[in-house]
Amino acid sequence: LDTAKEHESSADSPMSDYSTKGVDDPRLSGAVAGITGTVLVLVIAGGVALVVRRRSHHAA
Measured CA to CA in angstroms, residue 39 lies from 8, 27, 33, 46 at distances of: 25, 18, 10, 10
Domain annotation covers residue 43 = yes
Per-residue model confidence (pLDDT) at position 16: 65
Tens digits of per-residue pLDDT, 13-56?
A: 666 677 788 889 989 999 999 999 999 999 999 999 999 988 77
Look up the domain containing 55 and give its range.
23-59
Domain annotation covers residue 18 = no
Per-residue model confidence (pLDDT) at position 49: 94
Is 16 in contact with 7 (CB distance < 8 Å)?
no
Residue 58 has pLDDT above 70, yes or no: no
Name the phi and psi angles at 5, rounded to 5.
Answer: -125, 150
Domain annotation covers residue 53 = yes
Domain annotation covers residue 48 = yes
Count the domains in the chain: 1
Kindly state the DSSP code that residue 17 receives in the 8-state scheme: G
